[in-house]
């Protein structure tokens, strides 16, 4: 059983799109999507530096476009192949497009609104996110709560991401949970926390103009890791997820229950397959990082 997954914010690196532009038609596709997204996807994916692509208003449409472009690059091999689709945070929009809930253009329109609204919300208060690796989960969650932070991403495999104000994160750093390693993340705000509440209504307003389709394959939600039956429900979850924690651990548990045996992570891959290698033992994985990974992904589909 094959699951195709799309990564979230933080997966982007400077120049990661450069080798993909050599593939026939991909530059034209990204050029057309740039008009929809309202940013130059090609420039940001090739020549922009780390600070430029860290900007929420840039990172989110760039990641969704990259995931969709890499899915197209797989060609006919991917048509009808995934048994399950899932995305991490903004990656859910790419998953929704591949599942038929949204068109690629609709996904990018909504992501454009989401990214701009979240960037505005992030500017209200100085906030950030810190990854917590290791430690005892209950102790980690207790420490996060003690400092007024939110467990914004519960990723499984011993990884939880805390979000909150810079002052709260600084105090958390000085009172780290036992046997845990803290890594500040290069993101522009405390995503999936109450700090993003102002962005929810903006995205909901944009979503009202969209008539979604129902998913063609099993499509998992970050809210609780469960499959969602209708497109309308999935879009509503996309809206609410802006200020709600991402439960990737629950998505992984559902994958295990469904009997997933193989995973392909779309561009820029590596993060979610890394979690799978630790949390979904025995599952074969391929992460799309460069076009050289396409053949391995096609073989895995076979």
* Active-site residue flag, 221: no
Residues 6+ apart with CB under 8 A from 15: 45, 46, 47
How far apart CA 276 and CA 203 sit, in angstroms, is 30
Copy the structure tokens of residue 101. Answer: 């809930």
Is the separation of the CB atoms in 123 and 35 below 8 Å?
no
Which distant-in-sequence residues (6+ apart) come within 8 Å of 55 by Cβ?
119, 188
Strand pairing class (159-165; 180-184): unpaired
Q: Is 89 a catalytic residue?
A: yes
Find out whether 188 and 52 touch, Cβ atoms under 8 Å: no
Catalytic residue, chosen from 34, 70, 89, 202, is 89
Residue of 192, 195, 223, 244 marked catalytic = 192
* Residue 58 to residue 177: CA distance in whole angstroms: 33
DSSP H helical ranges for the chain: 26-37, 41-46, 50-54, 56-73, 91-99, 104-124, 137-146, 166-174, 197-207, 231-241, 248-258, 271-279, 294-301
Beta-strand pair 284-287/150-156: unpaired
Buried b (16+ CB within 10 A) or exposed e, 232-250: bebbbbbbebbbbbbbbbb
Distance from C-alpha of 235 to C-alpha of 246, rounded to nearest angstrom: 15
What does DSSP assign to residue 75? G
| Catalytic residue annotation | 89, 192
């Amino acid at each position: 059983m094959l699951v195709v997954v799309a990564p979230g914010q933080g997966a982007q690196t400077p120049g990661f799109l450069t080798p993909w532009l050599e593939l026939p038609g991909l530059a034209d596709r990204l050029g057309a999507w740039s008009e929809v997204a309202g940013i130059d996807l090609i420039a940001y994916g090739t020549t922009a530096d780390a600070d430029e692509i860290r900007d929420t208003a840039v990172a989110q449409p760039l990641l969704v476009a990259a995931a969709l472009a890499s899915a197209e690059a797989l060609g006919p091999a991917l048509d009808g192949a995934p048994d399950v689709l899932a995305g991490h945070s903004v990656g859910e929009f790419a998953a929704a497009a591949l599942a038929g809930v949204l068109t690629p253009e609709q996904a990018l329109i909504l992501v454009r609104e989401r990214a701009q609204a979240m960037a505005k919300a992030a500017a209200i208060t100085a906030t950030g996110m810190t990854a917590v690796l290791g430690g005892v989960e209950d102790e980690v969650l207790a420490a996060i709560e003690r400092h007024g932070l939110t467990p914004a991403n519960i990723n499984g495999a011993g990884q939880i991401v805390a979000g909150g104000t810079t002052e709260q994160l600084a105090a958390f750093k000085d009172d780290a949970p036992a046997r845990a390693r803290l890594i500040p993340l290069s993101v522009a705000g405390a995503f999936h926390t109450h700090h993003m509440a102002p962005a929810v209504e903006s995205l909901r307003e944009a979503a009202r103009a969209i008539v979604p389709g129902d998913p063609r394959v099993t499509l998992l939600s970050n809210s609780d890791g469960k499959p969602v039956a209708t497109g309308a429900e999935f879009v509503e979850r996309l809206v609410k997820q802006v200020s709600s924690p991402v439960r990737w651990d629950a998505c992984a548990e559902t994958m295990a229950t469904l009997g997933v045996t193989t995973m392909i992570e779309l561009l820029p891959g590596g993060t979610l397959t890394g979690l799978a290698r630790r949390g979904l033992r025995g599952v074969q994985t391929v992460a799309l990082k460069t076009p050289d990974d396409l053949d391995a992904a096609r073989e895995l589909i076979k």
